[in-house]
Amino acid sequence: MRRVLSYGAAVLLAGWILVPIWFVVVGAFSTADSVYSYPLAAWPDWSLESMRFFVTSAGVPQALLSSVVVALLTGVLTLLLAAPAGYALARFVFPGASAYRLTVLATRAFPVVVLSIPLAVFFLQWGIYDTVWGVAFMHTALALPFVVLMVAGVFAGVPVDIEEAAQIFGCSRVGAFRRAVVPNAAPGLAAAGTFAVLLSYNEVFAASILTLQEPTLPVFVLTGLTQAPLPFRYAGALFLLAPAFLFILLIRKRLIGVGGPTLR
């Protein structure tokens, strides 16, 4: 009985997520006429006219490449910066830990909108304006506060005994970290990295300020999309979703881990 309930809950929750996405698919693959009619059809007419417009728009492949590169760079950079900080927060009690946590979060509580001119000038002067590195640096700064907290939570969840056991068996502190903590924390770290990657991929405001000739895909598509006709909005939305969905598909195995952590 419990099993039935669990499956039922899983199906309901999955349906709740999937049905709206199905609507986007229907809209993206329907003719303009169908999209404007009411009641809406539950099944697409399999017309490619809206999607074709996006796929063949001048500049889309470059924008897509830009987005992917920026997102991956952000993921890696953020993890590299967050790992030491997260470890410190998880393993040590020291004055200033709470202050650090709050200050780091405070950087995110301020709307990016307002920081735009100073940032643009700064980037122009540093020569990283309109480059993938520039946007990646910015996105890392945006993701860092959250990833630090997530990583701290991950490391805190790995019992100290494991590290201590490793040290007893002759590992240095760093060695214990590498051999004992990282493997157990890996799924959590992958999760935190995934968050950073997707935050970067979807981020449009800072990216639109910091790019001009090298826009990321959301900048390229979304700035025009809110004013585009409805059929294009569906197609544009699906077009934006597809790479992200692909990425999540690829990364999900890492998130589950194989077999899960064990003490031995």
Partner 1 sequence: MGVSRRDALRLGLGTAALGVLSACALDTSGAPGGVGSGGLVFYSTQLSTTEEAESVRRQILAGFGQQVQFVSDSSGTKLFDRVRAEAQAGTSNLALVGALQGEFATLWKEGLLRDMTDVVESLGDRGFTSRYLDLARFDGRYAFVPWISASYIMAARREALEFLPAGADLQALTYAQLLDWTRAIQQATGSARFGLPAGENGLLKRFLQGYAYPSFTGGVNTTFASPEAVGMWEWLRQIWDTANPQSVTYGFMQEPLLTGEVWVAWDHAVRLVDALQTRPDDIVSFPAPTGPRGLGYLPVLGGLSIPKAVADPQPSIDLIRHLTDPARVSTTLRTVAWFPPQDLAAIPGGLPPGVGQEAETLQRMVGTPGAVASSLAVGLGGQSGAYDKVFTDTFRGIVLDAGDVRGTLATQAAALQGVLDTAQARCWAPDPLGEGVCRVG
Partner 2 sequence: MSVRRSLPYLLLVPSVAYLLIFFASPMVQAVGLAFTSTTGEWGLSSLAAMMSDDRFWPAVWTTVILLVVLLPIQLALALAMSMIVTGRLRGKGFWLYVFLLPLGVSELGAGILWYSIFVEQGWLNTVLQAVGIVDRPVLWLDYREPWRVIGTIVVAEAWRSTSLLVIILVGGLRAIPRDYLEAADVFHAGPWQRMRHVVLPMLRPTIRTALIVRVVLAFEVFATVIALGGTATDTLATQANRAYTEFQDAHLASAYGLAILVVSLVAVGIVLAALPTHKERGE
Q: Report in angstroms the alpha-carbon separations of 94 from 85, 87, 99, 164, 252.
A: 13, 13, 10, 20, 35
Min. distance of Cβ 150 from partner 2 in angstroms? 6
Q: Hey, what are 160's tokens?
A: 């100290």
User: Alpha carbon 48 to chain centroid distance?
Assistant: 29
**Residue 216's closest CA among 8, 74, 46?**
74
Where does this chain touch partner 1 (CB under 8 A) — which range of 3-11, 36-44, 102-110, 241-249? 36-44
Min. distance of Cβ 255 from partner 2 in angstroms? 7
- Report yes or no: 201 and 218 within 8 Å, Cβ to Cβ: yes
Query: Residue 18 is inside which H or E element, if any?
Result: helix 2-28
- Please provide the size of the chain in residues: 264
Residue 130, contacted partner among partner 1, partner 2, none, CB below 5-8 A by kind: partner 1
Residue 141, contacted partner among partner 1, partner 2, none, CB below 5-8 A by kind: partner 2
- Restricting to residues 165-204, which ones interact with partner 1 according to CB under 8 A? 178, 182-184, 186-187, 189-190
Residues that bind partner 1 (CB under 8 A): 32, 36-38, 53-54, 57-59, 61-63, 65-66, 69, 72-73, 75-76, 80, 116-117, 120-121, 124-125, 129-133, 136, 178, 182-184, 186-187, 189-190, 208-209, 212-215, 220-221, 223-230, 232, 236, 254, 257-259, 261
